[in-house]
Amino acid sequence: MIAVNKINAVWCMDFVSDSLCKARGINCLAVAGDFSHECVQTAVDFGIGGPYVTRLLDEAVQFRGYPTAVRTDNGPEFTNHAFLDWCESHKIQHILIQPERPMQNGYIESFNGKFRDECLNEHWFETLPQAREMIRAWVQDYNEVRPHSSIGRMPRRRFARPHRQQAGKAGSHQNPTPNEVTLQPRTLSE
């Protein structure tokens, strides 16, 4: 069991589905830190498979460093070779919750509930770029403006900043050098 007493101890992630006004479905992946309650990263697209998830995580670790563990459900995006190989190659523990037990990943379930109620249900997205922009703005407000009671009623990003700096000084979990992370363009099959 990973103790969630520092930044990057555990990142949790899960999907929320929505649709554009023309009925085309979109998937939203949210990645959040259990310690800081900060939304670490989001992706919004028509389809998000394992390779897409690993590229998203590679983007997140460039700024935040690697987590010690990630907690997910048993969805195919998190149980495929690309995701499992990514976890193994970066020595990240993959914590799988039990099937049909979403509250074992309670923080991301809570986040996704707020995300659905306050963002997805409040907006009628016409295009994918519009959905991405409105979701990005909501996440920015969530991280930078809203206070959270369990972290001293301060915004998540402000709470996380000194912890991230302290982790950087102590040497965070396998931070990559700039040349180690190369993002590849997404192909239609992913």
The reply to whether 134 falls in a domain is no
Q: What is the pLDDT of residue 3?
A: 60
The reply to whether 23 falls in a domain is yes
The reply to whether 129 falls in a domain is no
The count of structural domains within the chain is 1
Of 132, 118, 138, 127, nearest to 24 (Cα)? 127
The reply to whether 2 falls in a domain is no
Q: What is the pLDDT of residue 181?
A: 30
Q: What is the pLDDT of residue 130?
A: 97
The reply to whether 148 falls in a domain is no
Secondary structure string (H, E, C) spanning the chain: CCCCCCCCCEEEEEEEEEECCCCCEEEEEEEEECCCCCEEEEEEECCCCHHHHHHHHHHHHHHHCCCCEEEECCCHHHHCHHHHHHHHHCCCEEEECCCCCHHHHHHHHHHHHHHHHHCHHHCCCCCHHHHHHHHHHHHHHHHHCCEEHHHCCEEHHHHHHHHHHHHHHHCCCCCCCCCCCCCCCCCCCC
The reply to whether 77 falls in a domain is yes
The reply to whether 53 falls in a domain is yes
Q: What is the pLDDT of residue 161?
A: 76
Residue 59 belongs to domain with CATH number: 3.30.420.10
CA distance 80 to 93: 15
Work out whether strand 147-148 and strand 93-96 pair parallel, antiparallel, or are unpaired. unpaired
> Could you list the mean pLDDT of each consecutive 10-residue stretch along the chain, which spans 190 residues?
74 96 94 88 96 96 92 96 98 95 92 96 96 96 81 71 65 39 35
Domain that residue 28 falls in: 10-108
The reply to whether 95 falls in a domain is yes
